[in-house]
């Protein structure tokens, strides 16, 4: 696996695929700079060696149309502030204007190209478009884990024009190592905490990780499909009736593989899906009609904590309650505290997947776990056992 340490960038131009698909407010201010901060070490390594950096990224889904609201010009000053070097910007990502800007780039300078997705050729993985991009660097670096599961021109196709001169950036290398630690090299016992609303969205992950984990904690809306499948009463809780057979099959597979599955025993149920609803704590299989389970209950959380504290490797993907509502955030916060405690005691903890990352940021656990993944879809596909095209392109 080639990384930045395999190259000296003195007098070289590095073409770096970053993921600067960051949120903006109505005034076009960046509201979360974490993706820019994550790319900083890679860019600085190139500059400190005496090279220059050409950064390319997408933002949003402009669908091949130039859209001023999604122009990367809005983030240029923020990128400059985060990296600590004034970033130049060019209002296109291919063509004469870009060729000129790249030709004039001096060692120690950074050039940010316009939104790649202003061209359909980017998402179509167009070879000619990728060839044009490849002319802007001597060495290609992919540091965009968030798009590594897409076979786009800038993430995958461009790599074929660099033969040996391509590598992973620091961020992407860290992502690969973190997933490997959970899926292959992690110290046992390994525990996966899977939450979220639907079993259907997690089936392939569950099936892929059953060979790798010792404990599987099921939480969130998925719980009720398992509980109903086992004959329990789930009231008005979210439930995929057509996935009940599958839930039972997962439990059988887990048993055959010696994996302990932990399902909530009690829940905080509400008489309406809102923060001010009436609530009661009930057994998970005795939820009254008209009520729905919206958070894990105290006995469940005590048991989950016990399992987490015995673990040496922990994967957390998905909240265990409707954490967006304060009344039902307690369970997700409690899981965060338990993982924090296990991590302080030497466990390796990886948090990945949109909602769990959002929860970790919201409740201040970002620095209390070993690693927070920057890629939602890419992370999930890695856990499903898929080889991501953006990673395969560098290894190939």
Residue pLDDT tens, the chain, 396 long: 889 999 999 999 999 999 999 999 999 999 989 899 999 999 999 999 999 999 999 999 999 999 999 999 999 999 999 999 999 999 999 999 999 999 999 999 999 999 999 999 999 999 999 999 999 999 999 999 889 999 999 999 999 999 999 999 999 999 999 999 988 899 999 999 999 888 888 888 998 999 999 999 999 999 999 999 999 999 999 999 999 999 999 999 999 999 999 999 999 999 999 999 999 999 999 999 999 999 999 999 999 999 999 999 999 999 999 999 999 999 999 999 999 999 999 999 999 876 888 899 999 999 999 999 877 778 888 888 888 999 999 998
> Is there a single domain that holds both residue 345 and residue 267?
yes
396 has catalytic annotation: no
- SS3 at position 25: coil
Phi, psi angles (nearest 5°) of residue 321: -160, 180
Q: Is 117 annotated as a binding residue?
A: yes
Q: Computed over its alpha carbons, how large is the radius of gyration of the chain?
A: 23
82 plus 209 within the same structural domain? no
According to the annotation, is 396 in a ligand binding site? no
177 in a structural domain: no
Do both 89 and 155 map to the same domain? yes
21 is in an annotated binding site: yes
How many whole angstroms separate alpha carbon 322 and alpha carbon 44?
40
- 58 labelled as ligand-binding? yes
Reduced to 3 states (helix: H, G, I; strand: E, B; else coil), residue 339 is: helix
Buried b / exposed e along 204-230 (16+ C-beta atoms within 10 A): ebbeebbebbbbbbbbbbbbbbbbbbe
For residues 89 and 107, the answer to whether their CB atoms sit within 8 Å is no
Determine whether the annotation assigns residue 29 to a binding site.
no
| Stated pTM of the model | 0.88
Task: Tell whether residue 35 is among the known ligand binding residues.
Answer: yes
Note whether 235 and 357 are same-domain residues.
Answer: yes
Same domain, 191 and 279: yes
CA 94 to chain centre: 29
Q: How far apart are CA 222 and CA 347, in angstroms?
A: 26
Active-site residue, selected from the candidate residues 354, 361, 385, 386: 354
Residue 272 annotated as lining a ligand binding site = no
| Residues contacting 219, CB < 8 A, separation 6+ | 193, 194, 195, 264, 296, 304, 318, 319, 320, 321, 331, 335
Written as six digits, the tokens of 252 are 């059988």
Question: Tokens standing for 204?
Answer: 């392939």
3-class SS of residue 281: strand
Q: Which of 13, 35, 166, 212 is catalytic?
A: 35
Structure tokens at 87: 């970033």
Residue with tokens 């300078």: 109
Of the candidates 307, 208, 198, the residue with the CA atom closest to the CA atom of residue 253: 208
Report the candidate in 322, 318, 315 with the shortest Cα–Cα distance to residue 347: 315
Q: Report the distance separating Cα 117 and Cα 127, nearest Å.
A: 15
Alpha-carbon distances, residue 119 vs 130, 359, 360 (angstroms): 11, 34, 34
Q: Other C-beta atoms within 10 Å of 253: how many?
A: 15
Which of 172, 196, 226 delimits the end of a domain? 172
Q: What is the extent of the structural domain holding 78?
A: 4-172
Answer with the one of 113, 146, 172 that is the final residue of a domain. Answer: 172
Q: Say yes or no: 322 and 241 in one domain.
A: yes
The enclosing domain of 218 has a CATH number of 3.40.50.1260
- Residue of 2, 88, 127, 198 with catalytic role: 198
Residues 253 and 161 in one domain: no
Catalytic entry in 64, 108, 377, 385 = 377
The token pair that represents 144 in the structure block: 């965009």
Domain assignment present for 393: no
Q: Which of 60, 57, 71 is nearest to 17 (CA)?
A: 57
Asked if 354 is an active-site residue, the reply is yes
Number of domains present in the structure of the chain: 2
């Amino acid at each position: 696996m080639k990384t930045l340490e395999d190259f000296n960038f003195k007098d070289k131009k590095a073409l770096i695929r970053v993921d600067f698909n960051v949120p903006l407010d109505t005034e076009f201010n960046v509201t979360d700079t974490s993706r820019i901060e994550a790319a900083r070490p890679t860019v600085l390594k190139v500059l400190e060696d005496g090279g220059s950096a050409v950064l390319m990224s997408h933002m949003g889904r402009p669908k091949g149309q130039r859209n001023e609201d999604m122009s990367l010009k809005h983030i240029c000053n923020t990128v400059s502030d985060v990296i600590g070097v004034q970033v130049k910007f060019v209002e296109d990502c291919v063509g004469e204007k870009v060729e000129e800007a790249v030709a004039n780039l001096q060692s120690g300078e950074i050039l940010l190209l316009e939104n790649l997705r202003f061209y359909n050729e980017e998402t179509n993985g167009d070879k000619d478009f990728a060839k044009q991009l490849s002319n802007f660097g001597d060495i290609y670096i992919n540091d965009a884990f968030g798009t590594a599961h897409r076979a786009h021109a800038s993430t995958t196709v461009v790599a074929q024009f660099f033969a040996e001169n391509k590598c992973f950036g620091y961020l992407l290398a860290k992502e690969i190592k973190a997933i490997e630690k959970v899926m292959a090299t992690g110290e046992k016992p390994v525990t996966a905490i899977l939450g979220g609303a639907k079993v259907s969205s997690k089936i392939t992950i569950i099936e892929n990780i059953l060979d790798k984990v010792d404990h599987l904690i099921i939480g969130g809306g998925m719980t009720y499909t398992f509980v109903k499948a086992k004959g329990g009463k789930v009231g008005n809780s979210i439930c995929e009736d057509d996935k009940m057979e599958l839930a039972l099959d997962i439990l059988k597979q887990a048993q055959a593989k010696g994996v302990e599955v932990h399902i909530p025993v009690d829940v905080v149920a509400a008489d309406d899906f809102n923060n001010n609803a009436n609530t009661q704590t009930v057994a998970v299989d005795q939820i009254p009609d008209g009520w729905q389970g919206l958070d894990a209950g105290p006995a469940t959380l005590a048991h989950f904590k016990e399992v987490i504290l015995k673990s040496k490797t922990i994967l957390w993907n998905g909240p265990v309650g409707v954490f967006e509502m304060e009344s039902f955030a307690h369970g997700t916060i409690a899981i965060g505290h338990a993982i924090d405690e296990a991590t302080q005691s030497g466990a390796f903890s990886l948090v990945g997947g949109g909602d769990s990352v959002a929860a970790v940021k919201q409740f201040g656990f970002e620095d209390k776990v070993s690693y927070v993944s920057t890629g939602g879809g890419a992370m999930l596909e890695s856990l499903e056992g898929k080889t991501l095209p953006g990673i395969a392109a560098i290894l190939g």
